[in-house]
Amino acid sequence: MTQEWNSLLAHQGLTPDAVHFGNPAGELLAARDGGVVAPLLDLGVIRASGEDAAAFLHNLVSNDVKGIDVSHARFAGLCTPKGRLLALLLIWREGDDLLLMLPRDILPAILKRLSMYVLRSKVKLTDATEQRVLIGIAAPNLPAPVSSLPPFGVSITASGQWLRLDDRRCLLVCTPESAIAQWPQQIANAHPVGTAAWQWLEIAAGQPRVVAATQEAFVPQMLNMELPAVAGVSFTKGCYPGQEIVARTQYLGKVKRRTYRVRLASYAAPGTHVFAPETGAQHCGTLVSIAPSPDGGHEALVCVQISAFEAGELHVGTPDGECLERLSLPYPIS
């Protein structure tokens, strides 16, 4: 049925790379000004099943997994022992199982890494990407299943699971069969868009991603993960790989880099270095994520030294590369 879902989307005009439905500029404007629905083919799902699933994940990631019930989802980071992020995961329950959403480009490696820790734990990890469709919906007024939920709240309906992400965005998780049946209704109420428009919405919301090019580049606080709007770190849950580094960074006040939103004219890949006059030939930050902007050019999230961002002059790629325009985030950085 996944092939039938992909065929339906292709018939509707979705490009093979899932970036847009044939009108990229119009899709970006719709994402900015109205309601949109996006098949998130760049994301995948890992299923953790078994009686130890929650405890197993709880001991490996930066947030409290044991506390996740069927009505709540949580972001969490998977770190190296040095506190560097390998993945950002959105985690929620489906019955007794836990589902983990992450970019497809890193899913096989993350699944393999998690599997190394199973040992004698009663948990089974599988790639569930072919069994679950992810649809992103964004609108000034979210649909009824999530409109009354708090951020990261979950509602279960006959159509699937609905996860509220923030004031404008939610996620529908369902079977391919259900996605095919619901698609006509979804596009009757919202403009279909590809992954480019959805990634712009992520950037506008200040929500970071970790992709293959940026693995091990950041500790969680560099991506604002401990702030309430991102909510990806618990400092009371106990140990996990990298926990000592993350806690020390927090309690000693050594957060010297933060993630900010910027605009640039030309595309630069995630992982590209950022420079400032005060640091000369030494880079002061890294491009986290980037997407075309409805206002022209591109918008991005960059993780940079706080002092360099506040000084105001940032260049991408080289010390004399394109100058970045600073934009606001929808939440405060304290």
For the chain, give the longest Cα–Cα distance: 57
Q: Quick one: fold of 214-327?
A: Elongation Factor Tu (Ef-tu); domain 3 (2.40.30)
**pTM attached to this predicted model:** 0.95
Rounded Cα distance between 166 and 198, Å, is 13
For domain 1-213, the question of CATH label 2.40.50.1070 is answered with: no
Provide the mean pLDDT of the chain.
96
**58, containing H or E segment:** helix 53-58
Tally of CB atoms within 10 A around 9: 20
Distance of CA 87 to the CA centre of its chain: 9
139-165 per-residue burial string, b: 16 or more CB within 10 A, e: under 16: beebbebbeebebbbbbeeebbbbbbb
Domain ranges of the chain: 1-213, 214-327
Provide the pLDDT confidence category of residue 221 given band limits of 50, 70 and 90.
very high
Rounded Cα distance between 61 and 48, Å, is 14
Rounded Cα distance between 276 and 323, Å, is 9
pLDDT digits (tens, 9 = 90+) for 19-76: 999 999 999 999 999 999 999 999 999 999 999 999 999 999 999 999 999 999 999 9
Rounded Cα distance between 264 and 249, Å, is 30
Residue 285 has pLDDT above 70, yes or no: yes
CA dist 54 to 32, 43, 232, 238, 252, Å?
Answer: 37, 22, 16, 14, 30
What DSSP state is assigned to residue 213? G
